[in-house]
């Protein structure tokens, strides 16, 4: 069991950070509770509970599966390159094949689990167990060659780690590893066709192999921002998968193995049951599900690192789709017809359980209006850059800019002088809670001095959003604030990133830089790119998943730009 040539992965502890490799759905983690001491090999799938993804449980010598107890001695396991090494055991993973190699007489036992899409291949002496997906045959490579190949995949990926300041390098390496190993092969729907017909298999970087095994629309935008520095083709591929519209131009919330999530009718049964129990709005008719209109903003930045002709190629491919998706918001998500689109469902905001949605729907929200303003301006800019984009409609750029100006005015209409914040509206009623959604009003840029002063006062007030690890999703002094509950208090990297961008666009680069530095410090305090963290301590919240795509990607993007002195 040679370890030469394998890159050590010291941050993989199999508890907070499970082991996996690029292009694989195999995930290895430590067992818990009665299974402590064992190693679990999972084969993960979209919306399938972890217990059902168990392919095999590996039990160390002397360790009973049941009754080992939470205090069972933990076998020392080292992660390196494409494998895990323990006393008498090696697990090697390359893509969709996993080999368990045990030393003769080592005492490790393998117990099969319920994962339906994995086939075990055993050799008679049972010192070697090979797992493949159903229908695949094991590679003919010797174990030696298989091991070298597995290690090379990881080494090649890590060689692309973007350059950051030396003090950020360890976390940047971990984040880059996360982006690489969160890749899976995904059968994507055919563009423009009925959304459910199966199309090509593409490389999707998922939010997390524990909990989110598919491509989520706005996650893809953020993830692409991290990938763009040294893996621009993979970055563009993420946007290309996300830009899979339905017949009316709406972009889906999620692209997954068997289709898309684009409406409340597509929700997985467990999700529907949960929402039903909570009395959520999906109990009524069908509601479209999408994510915030940030496609043009992300695309513009991702394409900025590409040569001019490549950029133009992608722009020509994406422009019609992004334009239609933008028009969709005005046509299909503006029930009162006032020209200001609104969220019909919390999921479409990306802030699933924010207190903003504790009231009537639809919600006219400052973040949504700001995103729409920015997207219309960027679309108009693309028309100027490549006039053939609107060759059949010369008036288009001017119309887009007029719409942006009108929506920008609508955003100002949400400004509350007394509360000094952009106040969302639930139905016709003002939303009482003070949340990050209000701060996101600044994303549109050109805030009035009064608006900017209000946003900055909130961002800097330690009793509200100026916590040690900002920005909390709800102001700490708001009665709805819950320190550990998803969008009801914890800090998320993406919303802070967007607010920083807004501050910069409003002419406050120093405030933006300070916020960005604190966002970086938050990921470092959490020990890795977790899904969301405690705004006071920086620790991961107990229900937050780990190795989370956009936290990793935006950490990298901010660290690269910091190193480059704010450029890029």
Over the window 450 to 489, marking each residue x when it contacts ligand GLC by CB under 6 A and - when it does not, the resulting string is: ----------------------------------------
* 276: helix, strand or coil: helix
Name the residue nearer to ligand GLC (CB basis): 189 or 207: 207
Binding test (CB under 6 A) with ligand GLC, winner from 13, 40, 219, 237: 219
Q: Is 212 in the site for ligand GLC (CB under 6 A)?
A: yes
Q: Does 113 bind ligand GLC (CB under 6 A)?
A: no
Q: How far apart are CA 163 and CA 559, in angstroms?
A: 8
Using rule CB under 6 A, residue 563 touches ligand GLC: no
Which CB atom, from 219 or from 557, has the smaller least distance to ligand GLC? Answer: 219
Chain Cα centroid distance, residue 256: 14
Give the residue with the Cβ less far from ligand GLC, 269 or 337.
269
List all residues 6 or more positions away from 362 whose beta carbon is below 8 Å from its beta carbon: 333, 335, 336, 342, 343, 344, 426, 427
**What are the b/e assignments for 461-485, b being 16+ CB within 10 Å?**
eeebbbbebbbbbbbbebebbbbbb
Q: Does 216 bind ligand GLC (CB under 6 A)?
A: yes
Q: Least distance to ligand GLC from the beta carbon of 449, Å?
A: 32
Structure tokens at 255: 């692209």
Q: What are phi and psi of 99, to 5 degrees?
A: -115, 130
Rank residues 222 and 319 by Cβ distance to ligand GLC and give the closer one: 222
- Please report, for residues 82, 239, 280, 486, 531, the alpha-carbon distance to residue 543 in angstroms, rounded to integers and kept in the order given: 28, 28, 21, 8, 9
Q: How many residues sit close enough to ligand GLC to count as binding (CB under 6 A)? A: 7
| 514 touches ligand GLC (CB under 6 A) | no
Least distance from ligand GLC to the Cβ atom of residue 50, Å: 16
Residue 495 · residue 469 · CB < 8 Å: no
Shortest CB 492 distance to ligand GLC, Å = 8
Q: Does 433 bind ligand GLC (CB under 6 A)?
A: no
C-beta atoms surrounding 129 within 10 Å: 21
Nearer to ligand GLC, 348 or 451 (CB): 348
Q: Which stretch binds ligand GLC (CB under 6 A): 47-55, 180-188, 212-220, 551-559?
A: 212-220
Closest separation between CB of residue 362 and ligand GLC, Å?
A: 18
422, 414 Cβ separation under 8 angstroms: yes
CB of 532 to ligand GLC, least distance (A): 9
**SS in 3 state form for 509-562?**
HHHHHHHHHHHHHHHHHHCCCCCCECCCCCCECCCCCCCCHHHHHHHHHHHHHH
Residue owning tokens 């949340």: 435
Assess 497 for contact with ligand GLC (CB under 6 A). Answer: no
Binding residue (CB under 6 A) for ligand GLC from 350, 355, 470, 529: 350
Query: Where does 363-522 show beta strands of DSSP type E?
Result: 363-364, 415-416, 421-422, 425-426, 429-430
Residue 329 CB, nearest approach to ligand GLC (Å): 17
Angle, CA 500 vertex, CA 362 and CA 213 arms, to 5°:
60
Cα(354)–Cα(194) distance, rounded to whole angstroms? 33
User: In this chain, which stretch among 173-181, 210-218, 335-343, 391-399 interacts with ligand GLC, using CB under 6 A?
Assistant: 210-218
Pairing of strands 415-416, 429-430: unpaired
Stretch that binds ligand GLC, among 9-17, 129-137, 211-219, 462-470 (CB under 6 A): 211-219
Closer to ligand GLC at the Cβ: 222 or 382? Answer: 222
**Residue (of 251, 241, 346) closest to 290 by Cα position:** 251
Read out DSSP for 52-89? GGEEEEEE-TT--STT--TTPPPPPEEEETTEEEETTE
Pick between residue 75 and residue 354 the one whose CB is nearest to ligand GLC. 354
Check binding of 293 to ligand GLC (CB under 6 A).
no
Structure tokens at 147: 């091991």
Site string for ligand GLC, 170-209 (x = CB under 6 A): -------------------------------------x--
**Could you say which of 16, 143, 310, 352 contacts ligand GLC (CB under 6 A)?**
352
* Residues within the interface to ligand GLC (CB under 6 A): 207, 212, 216, 218-219, 350, 352
């Amino acid at each position: 069991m040679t370890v030469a040539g394998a890159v050590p992965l010291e941050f993989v502890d199999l508890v907070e950070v499970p082991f996996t490799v690029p292009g694989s759905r195999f995930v290895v983690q430590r067992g818990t509770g009665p299974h402590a001491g064992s190693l679990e090999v999972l084969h993960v799938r979209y919306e399938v509970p972890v217990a059902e993804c168990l392919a095999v449980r590996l039990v160390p010598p002397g360790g009973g599966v049941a009754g080992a107890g939470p205090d069972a001695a933990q076998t020392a396991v080292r992660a390196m390159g494409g494998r895990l090494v323990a006393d008498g055991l090696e697990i090697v993973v390359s893509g969709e094949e996993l080999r368990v190699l045990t030393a003769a007489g080592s005492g490790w036992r393998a117990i099969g689990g319920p994962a339906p899409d994995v086939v075990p291949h055993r050799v008679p002496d049972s010192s070697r167990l090979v797992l493949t997906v159903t229908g695949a045959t094991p590679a003919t490579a010797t174990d030696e060659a298989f091991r070298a190949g597995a290690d090379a995949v990881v080494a090649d990926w890590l060689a692309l780690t973007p350059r950051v300041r030396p003090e950020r390098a360890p976390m940047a390496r971990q984040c880059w590893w996360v982006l690489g190993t969160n890749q899976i092969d995904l059968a994507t729907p055919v563009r423009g066709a009925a959304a459910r017909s199966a199309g090509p298999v593409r490389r999707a970087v998922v939010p997390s192999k524990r909990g989110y095994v598919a491509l989520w629309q706005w996650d893809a935008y953020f993830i692409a921002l991290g990938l763009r520095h040294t893996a621009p083709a993979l970055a563009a591929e993420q946007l290309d998968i996300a830009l899979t519209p339905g017949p009316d131009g709406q972009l889906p919330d999620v692209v997954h193995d068997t289709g898309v999530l684009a409406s409340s009718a597509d929700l997985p049964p467990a999700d529907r049951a949960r929402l039903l129990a909570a009395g959520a709005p999906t109990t009524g008719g069908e509601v479209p599900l999408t994510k915030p209109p940030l496609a043009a903003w992300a695309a513009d930045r991702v394409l900025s690192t590409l040569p001019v002709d490549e950029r133009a190629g992608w722009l020509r491919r994406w422009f019609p789709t992004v334009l239609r998706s933008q028009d969709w918001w005005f046509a299909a998500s503006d029930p009162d017809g006032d020209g200001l689109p609104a969220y019909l469902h919390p999921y479409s905001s990306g802030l699933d359980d924010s207190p903003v949605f504790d009231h009537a729907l639809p919600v006219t929200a400052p973040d949504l209006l700001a995103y729409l303003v920015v997207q219309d301006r960027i679309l108009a800019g693309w028309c100027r850059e490549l006039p053939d984009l609107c060759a059949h409609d010369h008036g288009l750029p001017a119309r887009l800019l007029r719409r942006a100006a009108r929506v920008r005015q609508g955003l100002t209409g949400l400004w509350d002088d007394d509360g000094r914040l952009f106040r969302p509206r639930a139905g016709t009623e003002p939303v009482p809670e003070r949340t990050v959604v209000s701060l996101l009003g600044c994303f549109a840029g050109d805030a009035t001095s009064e608006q900017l002063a209000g946003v900055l006062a909130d961002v800097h007030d330690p009793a509200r959003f100026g916590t040690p690890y900002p920005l909390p999703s709800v102001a700490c002094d708001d009665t709805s604030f819950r320190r550990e509950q998803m969008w009801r208090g914890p800090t998320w990297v993406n919303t802070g990133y967007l607010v920083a961008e807004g501050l910069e666009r409003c002419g406050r680069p120093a405030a933006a830089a300070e916020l960005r530095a604190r966002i970086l410090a938050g990921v470092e305090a959490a020990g890795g790119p977790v899904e969301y963290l405690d705004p006071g301590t920086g620790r991961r919240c107990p229900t937050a998943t780990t190795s989370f795509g956009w936290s990793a990607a935006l950490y990298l993007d901010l660290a690269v730009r910091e190193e480059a002195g704010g450029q890029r």
